Amino acid sequence: MDIIQSIIIGIVEGLTEFLPISSTGHMIIAEKLLGVKENDFTTLFTVAIQLGAILSVVVLYWKKFFGSRTNGANRWRFYAKLIVAVIPALFFGYLFSDKIDALLESTTTVVITMLLGGIVLLLLDNYFKRPTVQTDEAITFPKAFIIGLWQVIAMIPGVSRSAASILGGMQQKLTRSLAAEFSFFLAVPTMLAATGYKLIKTYKTNPEVLKNNHNLLILALGNLVAFIVALVAIKFFIGYLQKHGFRIFGYYRIIVGIILLLMMISGYLPR
């Protein structure tokens, strides 16, 4: 992977991480279109670059995570809910780590999940019309855990972590905007854990990947680009979601899924 490829994929990640259209799916397709060779580093890069975008959440919601706007008890309760919500992802991610890595190389998986996810998003605005949970303080620990279970579905490339956890939030009676924000918050411990685990696993199996200065430069650059782009994408998504809902993202997923299917059938994309 070279610097230009890293920048392009960083832009793709930053734009798509918080939209319900699957950042991982888009990165997999981008890597294949750019001719990035699959190896231990690119598998690591596809996971670890998401950390850069996720850290933009901490910057934009700094007061929520560390500020004095809420008292200490409320803040620790907020942290505890995130810990409870991330438990399912930690458990299933560890259990199915190798299978998840194998799916990261599958264009077919991305095409199928892109199409199915689009259909779900088209239907989503017709359900969950009477939310009762208006603030994150009103999210109970059982609700947080159930949202975390929904997030596990996103371990399948193309599903979208954002879409899965937002759907889980709305199923638990959260408003659209609150479900999206909690999805952002939950992404922080989830991706910290996923990136940390992937780094440790890579170091144990192929330490040379992380001793290569070029690889480290590429990884740092990709994360930086993803971080900057994601700062803009988050603000856009929350504002758009409050006014318009999910339908446009559903149509987008279906159109992209059909295009990718045609490209795969015609041989432009490997399966």
pLDDT tens-digit readout, 105-117: 678 888 889 999 9
Lowest mean pLDDT segment, chosen from 30-39, 71-80, 206-215, 248-257: 71-80
Q: Within a 13 Å sphere around the CA of 192, how many CA atoms are in the beta-carbon half?
A: 14
Q: In angstroms, rounded to a whole number, what is the distance separating the alpha carbons of residues 30 and 32?
A: 5
The residue assigned the tokens 């330490």 is 207
Q: CB–CB of 238/178 below 8 Å? A: no
pLDDT tens digits, 189-204: 988 888 998 899 899 9
Which pTM does this prediction carry? 0.86
CA distances from 211 to 2, 198, 208, 216, 255 (A): 17, 15, 5, 8, 41
Top-ranked range on mean pLDDT: pick from 130-139, 186-195, 222-231: 222-231
Three-point CA angle 30, 50, 100, nearest 5° = 75
More confident residue, 236 or 74: 236
Q: In angstroms, rounded to a whole number, what is the distance separating the alpha carbons of residues 194 and 47?
A: 7
Top-ranked range on mean pLDDT: pick from 93-107, 118-132, 180-194, 230-244: 180-194
The whole-number pLDDT of residue 29 equals 86
Q: In angstroms, rounded to a whole number, what is the distance separating the alpha carbons of residues 30 and 35?
A: 8
Q: In angstroms, rounded to a whole number, what is the distance separating the alpha carbons of residues 71 and 83?
A: 19
Q: Across all residues in the chain, what is the average pLDDT?
A: 88
Q: In angstroms, rounded to a whole number, what is the distance separating the alpha carbons of residues 259 and 265?
A: 10
Q: Which is nearest to 55 in space by CA: 257, 250, 267, 228? A: 228
Q: Within a 13 Å sphere around the CA of 119, how many CA atoms are in the beta-carbon half?
A: 7
CA distances from 254 to 97, 115, 122, 183, 232 (A): 28, 5, 10, 23, 24
Reply yes or no on whether the pLDDT at 12 is more than 90.
yes
CA distances from 22 to 97, 156, 227 (A): 19, 10, 17
pLDDT tens digits, 233-263: 988 888 888 788 889 999 999 999 999 899 8
